[in-house]
């Protein structure tokens, strides 16, 4: 058996998170991904805790790739990238709009070099439009997409999600679109251009519940309570838990967990609508019971009764959570000189192909010689490119 994307070749020109993470998903699924860095290297190499030129963040979104360093401002560096475009099935870039064109690798040129190429451009606001020239990081998209407003709630100041959520959902969106384009190519033989804007990905992702009061255009129904107002963490005796009971049988299960049969039998709480209307009558009772109950007891009850609930783990405790351990969600990568590094295994489990364990991320220019040799360059030619500064190699 082979990995799902075994034999697919990817040139990853991305930096930061959105582009590299999209390529990482493909690498996790078996693609041969070459990460191409410019002489300064990906800025994320030094962001956060780092050892030996590899930060934890960089490893997580660049694992399983081969590393090549090129100076694309030189004729030699550009010539190597042109060879890679001919070699590749997929190219991913997330430069500012127009930047890759100025380097000589517009979609039109790359299509001429390789008509079967899936050419993927990830941008903040899109390839054109009034905001196209604005530099973008995740918080900007959280703000413009309305996600920050959703966190603050109606009438409150907007707040950022403390996660690179729009970077990451854009990466997943791009990876799915790439595999769809590859499937289309299998049927038609045609490559194509893909444009994925972080703004578009974020709005599509958030619309499901965050914008449900703004979906009906003609004769809209009365607005419902904003979804964000329905969720909260509950304080137990020794920490916090998340719970919910949207469906009637879930409310009955929650009553069993808390030993509060009187709630389940009360006609004021018989349906979701009544529970929302009369929430001031049952919320204090539940809060008081939770404050006297420890998390281990709650978790045992959630498991026994099939209720909706879970412990609010501290970040440092996530890897030790019993379900996380059972799922083997967190793996360890032997990263040579920098030691072992934790990284999540790929989330999908393919029943018909082997699971690939997370693999190391490349040091800067680590595979430059290997990649050039694979493109047909001999040792003397590789040495000459390195001496000319067109290629940078580790060691």
Tens digit of each residue's pLDDT (9 = 90 or more) over 334-357: 999 999 999 999 999 888 877 678
Residues 341/332, Cβ–Cβ less than 8 Å? yes
| Domain identity same for 320 and 362 | no
Q: Are residues 240 and 154 in the same domain?
A: no
144 and 243 together in one domain = no
Q: Where are the strands (E) in 281-350, listed by range? A: 308-311, 330-334, 340-344
Q: Are residues 194 and 49 in the same domain?
A: yes
Q: Is the pLDDT of residue 395 over 80?
A: no
pTM of the model: 0.93
Q: Is 200 a catalytic residue?
A: no
Q: Which of 32, 42, 71, 167 is catalytic?
A: 167
d(CA 283, CA 124): 42
Residue 4 in any domain: the answer is no
- Whether residue 235 is found in the same domain as residue 309: yes
Lowest mean pLDDT, pick from 102-111, 222-231, 266-275:
222-231
Same-domain check for residues 45 and 97: yes
Give CA separation, 119 vs 165, 180, 181, in Å: 24, 13, 10
Q: What is the model's pLDDT at position 2?
A: 86
Residues 92, 162 within the same domain: yes
Claim to verify: residue 192 and residue 268 sit in the same structural domain: no
- Alpha helix ranges (H) inside 29-137: 56-62, 75-87, 99-102, 107-113
Assess whether pLDDT exceeds 90 at residue 154: no
Q: How many domains does the chain have?
A: 2
**Residue 121 maps to which CATH number?**
3.40.50.10540
Helix (H, G, I), strand (E, B) or coil at 58: helix
Tell me the residue range of the domain where 268 lies: 231-324
């Amino acid at each position: 058996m082979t990995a799902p994307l075994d034999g697919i070749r990817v040139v990853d020109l991305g930096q930061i998170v959105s582009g590299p993470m999209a390529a990482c998903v493909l690498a996790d699924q078996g693609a041969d991904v070459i990460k191409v860095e410019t002489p300064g290297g990906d800025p994320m190499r030094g962001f956060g805790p780092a050892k030996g030129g590899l930060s934890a963040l960089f490893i997580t979104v660049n694992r399983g790739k081969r590393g090549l360093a090129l100076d694309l401002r030189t004729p030699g560096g550009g010539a190597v990238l042109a060879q890679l475009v001919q070699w590749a099935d997929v190219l991913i870039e997330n430069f500012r709009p127009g930047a890759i064109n100025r380097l000589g690798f517009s979609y039109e040129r790359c299509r001429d070099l390789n008509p079967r190429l899936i050419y993927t451009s990830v941008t903040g606001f899109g390839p054109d439009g009034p905001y196209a020239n604005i530099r973008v990081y995740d918080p900007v998209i959280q703000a413009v997409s309305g996600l920050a407003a959703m966190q603050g709630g109606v009438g409150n100041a907007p707040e950022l999600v403390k996660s690179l959520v729009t970077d990451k959902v854009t990466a997943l969106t791009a990876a799915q679109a790439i595999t769809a384009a590859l499937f289309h190519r299998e049927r038609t033989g045609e490559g194509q251009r893909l444009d994925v804007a972080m703004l578009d990905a974020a709005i599509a992702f958030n619309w499901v519940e965050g914008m449900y009061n703004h979906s009906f255009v003609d004769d809209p129904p009365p607005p419902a309570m904003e979804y964000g107002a329905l969720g909260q963490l509950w304080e137990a005796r020794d920490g916090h838990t998340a719970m919910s009971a949207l469906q009637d049988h879930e409310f009955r299960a929650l009553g069993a967990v808390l030993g509060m049969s009187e709630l389940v039998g009360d006609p004021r709480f018989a349906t979701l609508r009544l529970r929302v209307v009369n929430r001031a009558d049952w919320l204090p009772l539940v809060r008081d019971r939770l404050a006297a109950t420890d998390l281990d007891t709650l978790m045992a009850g959630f498991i026994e009764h099939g209720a909706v609930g879970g412990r609010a783990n501290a970040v440092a405790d996530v890897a030790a959570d019993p379900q996380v351990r059972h799922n083997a969600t967190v793996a360890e990568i032997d990263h040579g000189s920098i030691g072992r590094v934790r990284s999540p295994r790929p989330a999908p489990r393919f029943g018909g192909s082997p699971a690939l364990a997370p693999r190391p991320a490349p040091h800067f220019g680590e595979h430059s010689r290997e990649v050039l040799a694979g493109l047909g360059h001999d040792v003397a030619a590789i040495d000459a490119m390195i001496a000319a500064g067109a290629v940078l190699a580790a060691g």
